[in-house]
A and B are shown apart, each in its own frame.
Chain A
Amino acid sequence: MNKSINPLKALLLCFLINIYMPGAAANTGLYVSLAPAMVEVDTDNASTRPGLIDFRLGYEFDVHQLELSIMSSLYDDNLNQLVVDIPSVNSVFYRYLPYKDTSVKIHLILGVSQVEVESSYPNEPLSTETFDGASFGVGFEEAFTAAPQLKLKLDFIRLYNGNNLNINLFSLGVSYAF
C-alpha cells in the first residue's frame, strides 16, 4: 500500500479547489445527519452484516459537501458461530452533486475510512482488525416539502475495497441543515 499519499489532505485540497470557484451559489451551511446503517463484511464465501448508528457532521457549499462521519456499533451479526461486530467506523467524505436542480439529489461520494472489525469464533481468540482505505459510493437525498431543512438520505458506500474482502455501508436516515 502506498503510504506516502495522505488521502485526507488530498480530499481537503479537492474540496477547497472546488468550492473557491466563481459562480458558486449561496446554498451554504452546516448540517448534521443521523441514520441507522448496515455494514456488510463481504468475502467470496460468506457475508456478515452487523448494524451501526451513523452520525455525520457536514458543511455544504453549493454542489459540494464535506462530511465527517462517526459510526458505532448497534448490533453484531452471527454467521453460524462467527460473531462479527463493527465497534467503530470513522470516515471523511467529499460529496459532489452533479445535478443540483432535481428534487432527488444524487451524490457522488469519495472519502477515506477507518473500519474496526471485531470477530469471534469457537476455539479462536477474539480478534480485532482495523481496515483503512479509500471509500466511494453514491447517495440520494430529498428534502421534505413541509420542512425543507430536513432531508431524507440514502447512502451506498464501499468503505473498504480489499483484495479478498470488501466492507460496504448501507444507511438510511435524515439530515438537518442549519
Chain B
Amino acid sequence: MLFKNIFNLHIISIFILLSACGDADKEANLVNLHIAASQDIVSINFPVEKNESIISINSEFNFTLQGVKSNNIDTINITNDVIWSLSENALSSIDQQGHLVASSTAELITLKAQFGHLTETFELKISDARFDEIIELDKDSFNIDMCLSKDIKPIARYIDKDGLDEIRPVDSNIINTIAWLIRNQEDNSASQRAYINTIANQASLQTLAAGNIIIQANALSVYTGTVKTSSDFNQSVNNAMNSIKICNSSDTDLNICNVTSANIEKDKSISFISVGNYQASDGSNFNKNITQNSKWGIDNTINASIAFGNDLQNLNITGKTESTSAILSVACGEITQPISSIDITKGVTLNSSVSCDANINCLDKSSNITIDKLSVSSFTVRANDIDLVDNTSQTLSSRPDEISLQVTANYTNSTSAVITIDDELIYNITLGDGSIIEDKLNSKGVYNVLGPGTAKIKLDYRTEEFTVLLEIP
C-alpha cells in the first residue's frame, strides 16, 4: 500500500510538472491572432496627424497606434496590448503606453509597435535643433463656435546647429512655457472671448463669446536667449448656437436632458452642466457639454452658492438657507453683466443672475432651485434619562409621576440638534391616552402618569417617525 501511495504521488508530480510546461513559442501565433481578433483589427499604422517624426531632445511624446477594422473602413486608437520598443542602442526610452522620453543627444531611431501578430515601424529623429518662436497657431486653420474647446498643436520654428530651420509642432518642454495673449480685433483690447490653457502638454483654445480675436504666443527663444512674441494669429469665434439648457451632471443623453427646477436640502449640493445645441457645418445639430465656457450666476447667495467642480466640467450648487429658493442662470456669449475683473481661465461665476438681454450673440437659461429643510436620518430619544429604541418596549423600574421625553434629531449632514420643543415635532399618544398617560399642560414632550400599563407615543418630524413604547408598572 505504501508503495502504491508513493508511486501515485510520483505520477501526480509528473502531471503537475507536465501541465506546467507549456510551449510559449507554439502558442504565440494563436495568442496573437486572438489579441487582434478581440478588437477586430486587421492592420495597424501610425497616423500622421497624431504622431511626430521629429522630437526635441529631452522632451516627451505620446505615440498613437491606429488599428483598421476588418471592414477596412473603421479605425480605432489601440491603447491596450501593444508592445512598444525602440531600435537597439537607442538612448531614448519608451514605455508600454507609447510614452517616449527623448534622449539628451540627437539620434535616429526606429519605433516599433506590435499588436497581436501585426507589427508596424516608424522612423524617428531626436533633434537637438533649438526652439526659436511660434509661427502658426495650429497646422491647419479652423473654425470654432463660442463656448466650445479645441485642442491645438502650435507650429514652431526650430534652428539646428547648421542654422537651418526645422518647422514642426512645438515640443512638450516649450508648450508649457508659452504665455498666450488674446485681444479683440476691433479695438485691440484684452479679450474675454477666449483663452488658451495647456494641460498635460496639450494646448486647448477655449472660447466664451463670439467675435474676432488676435492670438499671440510669448515664449523664450532658446536659440537667441530672448523672449519672442509671435506674429498675430487672427481667429474668428462664431455663433452657430441654437439653444442652451441646464442638465444634471449625471445625465448621459444630452439630447433629452433638461432641468427647469430642482430641489436641494440645506448644506447639500447638486451638480449641473450646461448643454449647448449647435448647428454643424453640414446643417445637422449636435449637443455639447459647455459647462466650462458658460457663464453662471445665482441670484441670491444667502440662499444658495455656486462653484465649479475641480475640472470645470460641472457646476455645484449648495443650499444654504432652508425653505427658500434661488434662481440658477447660465449663459453663453456676451452677457449684460461685466466680467472684466474675472479670471476667465478659472470659469465664470457671478453672485447675480446672468442674462443676455437683447444681445444676439448670447443665449441664456435659468432654473429655479428650492432649498428644502435638512432631512433626518434617525432620532435619539430618551424618556426620564433612559435611552429608547424605536418601537421597542421599555419597562420602567418604578412608576414615575411624569415621563419627560428628550428628542434629538440626527440629520443627513451628520449634525444633530435637540428638537424636543421644536414646533415641527408632532407628539401623538396612540395607546394609553387618558388611562395610562396624558399630556402635561404647556409642557411639550412631558406626560403625566395616570396608572400602570402600556403607553405608546408616536413622534413625527420631517417625514421621519419614531414610536415610544413604555411599560409602566
Q: Which of A11, A13, A119, A161 contacts B19 (CB 8 A)?
A: A161
Q: Are A163 and B7 in contact (CB under 8 A)?
A: no
In the bound complex, how far is the Cα of B39 from the Cα of A46, in angstroms?
9
The residues of B that contact A80 with a CB separation of less than 8 Å are: 37-40, 70
Q: Is B117 an interface residue (CB 8 A)?
A: yes
Contact of A45 with B38 at beta-carbon distance under 8 Å, contacts A123-B43, A164-B27 already known: yes
Q: Are B31 and A164 in contact (CB under 8 A)?
A: yes
Stretch at the interface among B8-16, B91-99, B178-186, B331-339: B8-16
Q: Is A27 an interface residue (CB 8 A)?
A: no
Q: Is B460 an interface residue (CB 8 A)?
A: no
Question: How close is A35's CB to chain B, nearest CB, in angstroms?
Answer: 23
Contact of A133 with B30 at beta-carbon distance under 8 Å, contacts A45-B38, A121-B36 already known: no
The residues of A that contact B15 with a CB separation of less than 8 Å are: 7, 110, 134, 136
The residues of B that contact A84 with a CB separation of less than 8 Å are: 30
Q: Is B21 an interface residue (CB 8 A)?
A: yes
Taking each of B15, B29, B39, B117, which has the highest tally of chain A beta carbons within 10 Å of its own beta carbon?
Answer: B15
In the bound complex, how far is the Cα of B30 from the Cα of A130, in angstroms?
11
> Does more than half of chain B's interface fall in helix, strand or loop, or is it mixed?
helix
For window 21-57 of B, CB contacts with A under 8 Å fall at 21-24, 26-31, 33-40, 42-43
Q: Are A45 and B70 in contact (CB under 8 A)?
A: no
Q: Are B35 and A45 in contact (CB under 8 A)?
A: yes
Q: Are B36 and A134 in contact (CB under 8 A)?
A: no
Q: Is A104 an interface residue (CB 8 A)?
A: no
Size of B's binding interface in residues, CB under 8 A: 34
Size of A's binding interface in residues, CB under 8 A: 46
Question: How close is A132's CB to chain B, nearest CB, in angstroms?
Answer: 8
Taking each of A10, A18, A122, which has the highest tally of chain B beta carbons within 10 Å of its own beta carbon?
Answer: A122
In the bound complex, how far is the Cα of B16 from the Cα of A7, in angstroms?
11
Q: Which of A1, A127, A158, A165 contacts B31 (CB 8 A)?
A: A165
Q: Are A160 and B22 in contact (CB under 8 A)?
A: yes
The residues of B that contact A101 with a CB separation of less than 8 Å are: none
Q: Is A98 an interface residue (CB 8 A)?
A: no
Question: How close is A111's CB to chain B, nearest CB, in angstroms?
Answer: 9
Q: Is A25 an interface residue (CB 8 A)?
A: no
Q: Are B33 and A82 in contact (CB under 8 A)?
A: yes
Q: Which of B12, B27, B38, B117 contacts A46 (CB 8 A)?
A: B38
Q: Is A26 an interface residue (CB 8 A)?
A: no
Q: Is B17 an interface residue (CB 8 A)?
A: yes
The residues of A that contact B117 with a CB separation of less than 8 Å are: 121, 124
For window 146-178 of A, CB contacts with B under 8 Å fall at 158, 160-165
Q: Are A2 and B36 in contact (CB under 8 A)?
A: no
The residues of A that contact B27 with a CB separation of less than 8 Å are: 129, 131, 162-165
The residues of A that contact B43 with a CB separation of less than 8 Å are: 123
Q: Are A14 and B8 in contact (CB under 8 A)?
A: yes
Q: Are B38 and A14 in contact (CB under 8 A)?
A: no
The residues of B that contact A102 with a CB separation of less than 8 Å are: none
* A binding-site residues for B, Cβ under 8 Å: 1-2, 5, 7, 10-11, 13-14, 17-18, 21, 41, 43-48, 79-82, 84, 110, 112, 117, 119, 121-124, 127, 129-131, 133-136, 158, 160-165
Query: Sorted from nearest, which 10 A-B pairs have the closest CB atoms?
Result: A162-B22, A82-B37, A134-B18, A46-B38, A80-B40, A163-B22, A165-B27, A43-B34, A161-B19, A163-B24
19 interchain pairs, CB-CB under 8 A: A2-B18, A2-B21, A5-B14, A10-B14, A18-B8, A45-B81, A47-B34, A79-B37, A80-B40, A121-B36, A121-B37, A122-B70, A129-B26, A129-B29, A161-B22, A162-B27, A163-B24, A164-B22, A165-B30
* B binding-site residues for A, Cβ under 8 Å: 4, 7-8, 11-12, 14-15, 17-24, 26-31, 33-40, 42-43, 70, 81, 117
